[in-house]
Amino acid sequence: MPVQHPFASLRPRHQARGPARQLAKNPLLSAATFPPVSLMSAIVDTFIAPPCHEQIEILYQDEHLAIINKPTGLLSLSGKNPQNLDSVHHRLVQLFPGCTLVHRLDFGTSGLMVIALNKAINAALCQQFSQRTVTKLYSALLCGHLHENEGIINAAIARDPALFPLMTICADQGKPACSHYLVVERFYQPGKGGTPLPLTRVTLAPQTGRTHQLRIHCQWLGHPILGCDLYGGRQLPGTEQTSRLMLHASALHFVHPVSGEAINARHPCPF
List, by residue number, the catalytic residues.
Answer: 106
Burial class (CB in 10 A: 0-12, 13-18, 19+), 78: middle
Name the nearest CA neighbour of 55 among 95, 98, 97, 104.
95
How many alpha carbons fall within 13 Å on the CB side of residue 71?
12
What whole-number distance in Å separates Cα of residue 105 and Cα of residue 113? 8
Name the nearest CA neighbour of 170 among 22, 23, 25, 24.
25
Burial class (CB in 10 A: 0-12, 13-18, 19+), 221: buried
Residues 75, 49 contacting (CB under 8 angstroms): yes
Residues 138, 214 contacting (CB under 8 angstroms): yes
| CA 252 from centroid of its chain's CA atoms | 12
| CA 94 from centroid of its chain's CA atoms | 26
What whole-number distance in Å separates Cα of residue 151 and Cα of residue 132? 20
